[in-house]
Homo-oligomer: A and B are copies of this chain.
């Protein structure tokens, strides 16, 4: 069992500061479309980033285990929030991944590593919404 501790202090208006010991703090706020200020991380952004980063760290794990030599890894994670019968909910998170390989012969192994990451990412496993992955090799 592992635990991950984070803290929030409300500052003013619709903005707070999120902290974790030894890690850089940053502001978090209600999204602008619900009355918050612009240019702050929002709870919905953080959920998208949690999934996107979990897929990255899981992919790095499986790629390393398969001895895949990656040149680059980029992803875009988009959370979609909708009105549902039970209220607002994040119903889908799409993660579009672009990986550069040193050796195109490792393409199939790379696809397998991403599929393994999708099945083993602990953040995705905790969501009841859909996580949709796409992979582009270059």
Contacts and interface: CB of A to CB of B under 8 A. Distances in A.
Interface of A: 1-10, 14, 16, 18, 20, 22-24, 26-31, 33-34, 36, 38-54, 56-57, 60-61, 70, 72-82, 84, 86-91, 119-123, 125-129
A6 B49 contact: yes
A8 B5 CA distance: 22
What is the oligomeric copy number?
Answer: 2
B125 A53 contact: no
Given A3-B80, A14-B57, A49 B8 contact: yes
Given A3-B79, A16-B73, A88 B120 contact: yes
Contact of A75 (B3, B8, B81): B8
A15 B84 CA distance: 36
